[in-house]
Chain A
Amino acid sequence: MSSKEFFNTFVRDQKAIITKICRSYSDNEEDFQDLFQEVALQLWRGYESFRSESKVSTWVYRVALNVCLTHFKRRKRKPQTSSIDNMLKEPAQEGIDPVHEQVALLYDAIKQLKDIERAIILLYLEDKQYNEIADILGMTRTNVGVRINRIKSQLKKYIDARVGHQGDMADSKAVNA
Chain B
Amino acid sequence: MQELDIKEIWQTQRLSTPELKEGELEAMLRKRSQSIVEKLKTFTRVEHIANIVVSILMIGYFLYKGDYAFSGVLILFMTIIVLYYKRLYNKLHAIQPTSDVREYLIEVHKELRDFVRKYQISLSLLFTIAFGLGLYLGLKDKPIRDKLDDPLFYARIGGVYLASLAACFLIVHLVYSSKLKKIKGMLDEMNSRD
Are B190 and A83 touching (Cβ within 8 A)?
no
A170 at the interface (CB under 8 A from B): no
Chain A hits for B20, CB < 8 A: 8, 11-12, 15, 83-84
Q: What does DSSP make chain A's interface, helix, strand, loop or mixed?
A: helix
Q: How many residues of A contact B (CB 8 A)?
A: 63
Are A41 and B31 touching (Cβ within 8 A)?
yes
Are A160 and B100 touching (Cβ within 8 A)?
no
Chain A hits for B69, CB < 8 A: none
In the assembled complex, the Cα of A36 lies from the Cα of B105 at a distance in Å of: 20
Q: How many residues of B contact A (CB 8 A)?
A: 48
Chain B hits for A106, CB < 8 A: 6, 9-10
- CB-defined interface of A132-144 with B at 8 Å, one 1/0 digit per residue? 0001111100010
Q: Which of A7, A37, A138, A155 contacts B102 (CB 8 A)?
A: A138
| Residues in chain B within 8 A of chain A (CB atoms) | 1, 3, 6-7, 9-21, 24-26, 28-29, 31, 33-37, 96-105, 108, 178-179, 182-183, 185-186, 189-190, 193
**Pairs across A and B, CB under 8 Å, 25 listed:** A11-B25, A12-B19, A19-B17, A34-B34, A38-B33, A38-B35, A40-B25, A42-B33, A62-B101, A63-B98, A69-B101, A70-B37, A70-B104, A70-B108, A72-B36, A83-B21, A87-B17, A99-B12, A99-B14, A103-B13, A115-B186, A139-B190, A143-B193, A152-B6, A156-B6
